[in-house]
Structure 1
Amino acid sequence: MKVLKFGGTSIGSAKNIDKVIHILDNYSKEDALICVVSAVGGITDKLLLAGKQAQNKDSTFLDTFNTIKAIHFEIINELNPDNNKSIINSIENRLNDLKNLLDGIYLINELSPKTSDKLVSFGESLSSFIIAETIKNRSLSVALKNSQELIITNSDFTKAEVNFNITNSNITDYFKSATQQITILPGFVANSTMGEQTTLGRGGSDFTAAIVAAALQVKQLEIWTDVSGMFTTNPKLVKQAYPIKEISYQEAMELSHFGAKVLYPPTVQPVLDLNIPIHIKNTLKPEAAGTIISNNATSAAFPVKGISNISNVALLTLEGSGMIGIPGFSKRLFETLAQEKINIILITQASSEHSICLGLDENNSEAAKTAIDKAFENEIALHKIDPITVETGLSIVALVGDNMKNHQGISGKMFSTLGKNNINIRAIAQGASEKNISAVIDKKDIKKALNTLHEKFFETQIKQLNVFITGVGNVGERLVEQIKQQKKYLNENLKINVRIIGLSNSRTMIFNEHGIDLNTWKAQLSAGRKASLEGFFENTKALNLRNSIFVDITANQAVANLYPNYLRQSIGVVACNKIACSSDYENYRLLKRLSLKYNAPFLFETNVGAGLPIIDTLNNLIASGDKITSIQAVLSGSLNFVFNNFNDTTKFHDVVKQAQEEGYTEPDPRIDLSGVDVARKILILARESGFEMNLEDIENNPFLSESGLKSDTVDDFYQTLIKDEAHYQQLFACAKANHCQLKYVAQFNNGKARVGLQEIPEGHPFYNLEGKDNIVMFYTQRYPEQPMIIKGAGAGADVTASGIFSDIIKIGND
């Protein structure tokens, strides 16, 4: 004999009930079946709503009643289109009884627990009758048995306690003589020893099935629902969650208590002592393996079996110096809540005995506070303890596993993982058995917490990076294409999954929390909503995704001003924009401090040498204990391109224009040619070397003509280049006469820095620097005579994009 239970979603429609009957038909060919059914999905809530409406003299209870009636009639007509008269007549009689009960509640303006049990029992009564009659119409051997005749309880209405001696005897006696192949039992409902209708509490249909399975000592209990077993975590919040193949009774109870809705916790108790396995199956996918719950499911290889959560939690704190060393405070606190029938979800107490924290359902928080403040009003009046404090809007996230106690570092890994994503922990609880580690966090962080922990404990250590890019122009377009091209490689070789979640240019912006399709991103962006710097930040913040990275590919002051906002939300910043790191020194230090405080990476390699690893090399030298004594560098690929292509047969205007069109200069070439860009770069290198400097401390010797320096617009500037051609030809001629090359050089020595155009003689490392290349020479205590040299392309969209990409990958490898 087998016991199967089908929940409300499994019988929530005629289509699903057909699937249930198909499963029963197949099973019944091999063995006799007991099928426990819940009410049709959502009906119990509607019955309670109708009762509450009637109690409140709200005549809309009739509308709710009619909705209940319509749902059941629709199912009957779909299941039995040609033979439903007798079923409808019987259902009409039951519905008339329901209507009379609601009318009575409306008249007397009262809904007692006893009446409530009678009211909600109609759900299972209706569903079980419809299913039994439908099976009968399909010529299968079936009988409907009222569970109220089998399961006997006390009179604790809404959550009655079972009298197992009488119940077990009733069940064994009935099935000893039963001849039908399929027995349909309504779940959840029972009778008291006084003959009154009772219920086993919400989720009690699972309990009914377990009671029957234990009484008959069947080989296995099957719980059929709408998911393929118990998952590693909530699959609605974590797409990578997957069904757990095997799990122990204790682990299942812990997960069920902490929000896994697949199983009602008391279900486990009747079958636990008898070691009857519970098999969780999916009605909609009967071929799926599901989850087996038994005593033989412990695996040392996987110490964490699941991650669960409870939302809408309130944290109540009782504290005060008057509690220290005084016995009885905890007893009085718990007794007060017990008298109010308020369930405690989590308890934690400081070793100093100065405070006790309790987690409970948010709906009970005000009643709990009122009761506790009243119980301790004398101590509060004498200032021995403080009035109880209540924090709402919280959730509990819990790691569950029998073998966690045998593995060191589980809790450390859990808390560090949450901390790295700026998820603040309000309270922690861990039982002595170490099967559960619970943390109270802000409700808004629950999705990020579950995804972060699931990635850490259950996935093949593929780190997901969620990237938000603003400034999708020439460089940004190259970056998107590089990410698209390398996605598979990063996944397979570096175990990094880079997803672009947000994109913005100066006109429009788009977001997709599941990742923007990189095959159609241009079309999506062109049709996106209006761009806004604050709006981009607010959307990034609201998505609250783990390992979020903001990428700035602009030269915009307003964007740079938003870096602190991102870092304070633990959103990493990768900056191509030099403005922030070359701004006032205090702002630069602030960004560094925020990066450390909120564990948010702040990387800006492309500030100095596009894709060249200049800052990375410098940081490695400093971290290893070396000290920078001098820096000599050609830091502008743009200016190097200009002076490598300018001679007495070309025009300076034309070369600068070419550099701009090929993407080697900023949109405003004056930034490059005035030396400001190079000054910012040497300033950043000096700061990264440990020196406190500001931009005005850099000596800048400009080579532009006076009119070029004073030009108001880019167009005006280009006109000055034409007018002052002789000035630039003179610079070239002088260098040529001295057998030198013109290079724009940045120098840092003894705490001082300067930038300017220099004539570089033959034999100097800078002399043969070609095209748009950069070169940096670091003189240090370890490299006093022969410097460490970094050389390569220092401008261009592709290499700049690759430098930004490298910073993103670096964050993924941390």
Structure 2
Amino acid sequence: MLYSGGRLVVKFGGTSVRDDFREAVTFVSRLWDENEVALVVSAIKGVTDALLKFSRTGEGFEWIEKVHRDFAKKYGIPFETLAAPLRELKKLSREDFPSFEAYRDHVLSYGEWLSGLAFAEALRREGIQVELFEPWEILETDGNFGNARVDIAKTSRNLKVVEEALERGRVAVVPGFVGSYNGLRTTLGREGSDYTAAVLGKGLKARAVLIMSGVDGIYTADPRRVVSARLIPFVSYDELYVASKAGMKAIHHGAIDVVRGIPIIFGRTRDWSIGTIAGYESSSLPILVHRVAGEEAVITAVGVAEVPGFDGENGSELGIPLVRLTVPSARLGSTLNLIHLRLIADRISPPRALSIIRGGVSAGNV
């Protein structure tokens, strides 16, 4: 067992909810045996984009309903658990809100809320005591709809009810991505469920925040594009922040400062493994991050002062050196692989992910 007798915040991403729901439920159950667990969940993969389209055009509700109906059937959850909020969603009217942005965020909030309802029901069916919280009653934010910032002081006071649930032995389920401002629901931006998890980690004084997804952890580059990408065992908060701001999607960059001082553990839901621990230690490995904008792509090499054979813009942030290069989008893949080869590939052997639960934790090559 990675932790025993502690307080943990566990966040599952949308891919895990869609594809690895049973594994996620069992994972929480095992952690709950020996820990206090607060659970943060994302919308099912693809649902947020569909809700965004629905808010703009009024189209796509049937697809959203079908996804949740199929999900409920696949995982043995009564559809009645999800039916009422879906009916509410269908009846929403733009005219009932002071702005389109407020209406849009209200629509978007249903993705995480539906996932929270599903998780709470599944955990109850496993014999686990659960308390589900409406996130708009817990997280108070500013009025920047679509990319709201959490008011930590106000939210910390609201978290007392969550803490009380944990102390009573309940799994506290708090859907991610959503808060409120003056009674209106707000959203925290893409990867906003990470932000929710960080706020809970800080406010609840958690021993660790676990970010569970479909990949093992943080890599030296996107493994879908760079065949020699390597798992990074340890990454510093500063490295993680700089890489996230540059475009790495492993975590919402706003979450990092909130949770600084608490370990952030990145793992894969399917086999309950972890690959990266973020804290004050670093493996001192560069991270290649990229953004694509039309016909151009920007590559940022985080943690290096130069890229041999390439002319780029040198800089630094939080004391972390970095190099930015602009290349044609058509050459992104080949350029990433070449840069990675020159910077990283020959420096390390591939580390193994760690088991979180099965057989305990062994350092292995990490």
TM-score of the pair, normalised by structure 1: 0.40
The match for 2:62 among 59, 66, 74 is: 66
Q: Is the 8 A contact 1:146 1:185 kept in 2?
A: yes
CA distance in 2, matches of 1:286, 1:202: 24
Contact preservation (8 Å) 1:244, 1:305: no
Counterpart of 1:141 in structure 2 is: 129
Aligned to 1:458: 344
* Deviation at residue 3 of structure 1 after TM alignment: 0.4
- Of 254, 257, 266, the residue aligned with 1:280 is 266
Q: Which amino acid aligns with 1:431?
A: S
Aligned pairs for 1:6-25 (under 5 A) are 6-13=12-19, 16-25=20-29
Are 1:123 and 2:111 an aligned pair? yes
2:39 aligned with 1:39, yes or no?
no
> Could you tell me which amino acid in structure 2 is paired with residue 396 of structure 1?
V
- Alpha carbons of structure 1 residues 461 and 229: separation in structure 2 relative to 1, 3 Å: closer
Bigger Cα Rg:
1
CA contact (8 A) 1:124 1:186 kept: yes
- Superposed displacement of residue 98, structure 1: 0.7
2:227 is aligned to 239
Q: Tell me, yes or no, if structure 1 residue 183 matches structure 2 residue 172.
A: yes
Structure 2 Cα separation of the partners of residues 113 and 186 of structure 1: 20
Output the CA distance in 1 between the equivalents of 2:190 and 2:169.
29
Shift of 1:307: 1.1
1:362-511 to structure 2, matched below 5 A, reads 393-401=295-303, 404=304, 410-411=305-306, 414-416=307-309, 418=310, 428-431=313-316, 433-460=319-346
Amino acid at match of 1:10: S
Instruction: Look up the SS of the partner of 2:34 in the other structure.
Output: coil
Matches within 5 A, 1:253-292: 253-272=241-260, 275-287=261-273, 289-292=274-277
The 1:252/1:434 distance shift into structure 2, 3 A limit, reads closer
Whether 1:170 and 2:158 are equivalent positions in the alignment is yes
Match of 2:204 among 216, 222, 226: 216
**Which residue is 2:88 aligned to?**
97
Residue 296 of structure 1 corresponds to: 281
Moved over 6 A (4+): none
User: Equivalent pairs: percent with the same residue?
Assistant: 26
Aligned residue for 1:50, secondary structure, equals helix
Aligned equivalents of 1:44 and 1:181: distance in 2?
Answer: 28
**Cα deviation digits, residues 9-29 of structure 1 (max 9, x gap):** 11014xx11010011111111
CA spacing shift, 1:177–1:53, aligned 2, 3 Å: closer
Q: 2:161 & 2:118 partners in 1: Cα distance?
A: 26
Does 159-168 or 16-25 show the bigger shift?
159-168
Q: Distance in 1 between matches of 2:84 and 2:164?
A: 32
Pair 1:152 & 2:140 matched? yes
Distance, in Å, in 2 between the alignment partners of 1:262 and 1:20 is 18
Work out the CA distance in 1 between the residues paired with 2:275 and 2:75. Answer: 28
Q: Distance in 2 between matches of 1:100 and 1:144?
A: 24
| Partners of 1:113 and 1:158 within 8 A in 2 | yes
1:306 aligns with 2:254: no
CA distance in structure 2 between the aligned counterparts of 1:456 and 1:448, rounded to whole angstroms: 13
Amino acid at match of 1:72: H
CA deviation after TM superposition for structure 1 residue 73, in Å: 1.0
Tell me, yes or no, if the aligned pair for 2:165 and 2:171 is still in contact at 8 Å: no
Once the two structures are TM-superposed, the CA of residue 51 in structure 1 deviates from its matched residue by: 1.7
Aligned match for 2:195, one of 203, 207, 210: 207
Go from structure 1 to structure 2 and tell me whether the alpha carbon gap of 1:138 and 1:399 turns closer, same or farther (over 3 Å shift): same
Q: CA deviation at 1:138?
A: 2.0
Quote how far apart the aligned CAs of 1:137 are: 1.6
Is the 8 Å Cα contact of residues 52 and 111 (structure 1) preserved in structure 2?
Answer: no
Within 1, Cα distance between the matches of 2:18 and 2:162? 29
User: Is residue 78 from structure 1 mapped to residue 74 from structure 2 by the alignment?
Assistant: yes
Deviation at 1:239, TM superposition (A): 1.2
Of 1, 4, 10, which aligns to 2:10? 4
Q: Match for 2:56: what amino acid?
A: K
**1:238-260 CA distances to partner (integer Å, 9 max, x unpaired)?**
11112100000111112222222
Partner Cα separation in structure 2 for residue 266 and residue 296 of structure 1? 20
Inter-CA distance 461–7: structure 2 relative to 1 (3 Å threshold): closer
Per-residue CA distance 1:255-302 (angstroms, 9 max, x = gap): 222222111111101112xx1110011112313x311110122x5xx4
Q: Write the letter of the residue equivalent to 2:158.
A: N
Residue of structure 1 in register with 2:362 after alignment: none
CA–CA separation in structure 1 for the residues paired with 2:320 and 2:153: 34
CA distance in 1, matches of 2:233, 2:124: 35
Please report how far the alpha carbon of residue 435 of structure 1 lies from its aligned counterpart in structure 2 after TM superposition: 2.2
Q: Cα RMSD between the aligned structures?
A: 2.2
**Range 260-269 or range 205-214, more displaced:** 260-269
Deviation at 1:429, TM superposition (A): 4.1
How many angstroms apart in 2 are the aligned matches of 1:286 and 1:428?
40
Q: Does the residue aligned with 1:10 lie in a helix, a strand or coil?
A: helix
- How far apart are residue 90 of structure 1 and its match? 4.0
| Matched-pair contact (CA < 8 Å) for 1:151–1:167 | yes
Secondary structure of 1:128's aligned partner: helix
Q: Which amino acid aligns with 2:300?
A: A
Once the two structures are superposed, what CA deviation does each residue of 1:351-404 show, in whole Å capped at 9, x if it has no partner? xxxxxxxxxxxxxxxxxxxxxxxxxxxxxxxxxxxxxxxxx5111111112xx4
Unaligned runs of 5+ in 1: 55-60, 313-391, 405-409, 419-424, 463-814
Give the Å deviation of 1:189.
0.7
Q: Does residue 26 of structure 1 match 2:30?
A: yes
Aligned pair in 2 of structure 1 residues 436, 130: CA closer, same or farther (>3 Å)? same
Distance 1:165 1:200 in 2: 17
Alignment of 1:580-619 (within 5 A): none
Q: Classify 1:165/1:446 alpha carbon distance in 2 versus 1 (closer, same or farther; 3 Å).
A: same
Matches of 2:191 and 2:205 in 1, distance apart? 22
Structure with the larger helix share: 1
Q: How far apart are the structure 2 equivalents of 1:120 and 1:136?
A: 26
Deviation at 1:174, TM superposition (A): 3.4
Report the counterpart of residue 353 of structure 2 in structure 1: none
Q: CA contact under 8 A between 1:230 and 1:260: conserved in structure 2?
A: no
Aligned partner of 2:359 in structure 1 is none
- The structural deviation recorded for 1:214 is 0.5
Verify the 8 A CA contact 2:238 2:320 in the aligned structure 1.
no
Deviation at 1:161, TM superposition (A): 2.1
- C-alpha distance 215-393 of structure 1, shift in aligned 2 (>3 A): same
**1:435 aligns to what SS in structure 2?**
strand
Q: CA deviation at 1:434?
A: 4.7
Mark the CA change 1:459 to 1:415 in structure 2 (over 3 Å): closer, same or farther: closer
Work out the number of aligned pairs and report it.
340
| Distance in 2 separating the partners of 1:200 and 1:169 | 19
Structure 1 CA distance for aligned equivalents of residues 161 and 172 of structure 2: 14
Whether contact under 8 Å (1:252, 1:293) holds in the other structure is: yes
Contact 1:6 1:225 in 2 (8 A): yes
Q: Secondary structure at the match of 1:431?
A: strand
Task: Identify the residue that residue 500 of structure 1 maps to in structure 2.
Answer: none
List gaps (5 residues or longer) in structure 2. Answer: 1-6, 349-366
Question: What amino acid sits opposite 2:37 in the alignment?
Answer: L
TM, length-normalised to structure 2 = 0.87
Are the equivalent residues in 2 in contact too, given 1:35–1:185 (CA < 8 A)? yes
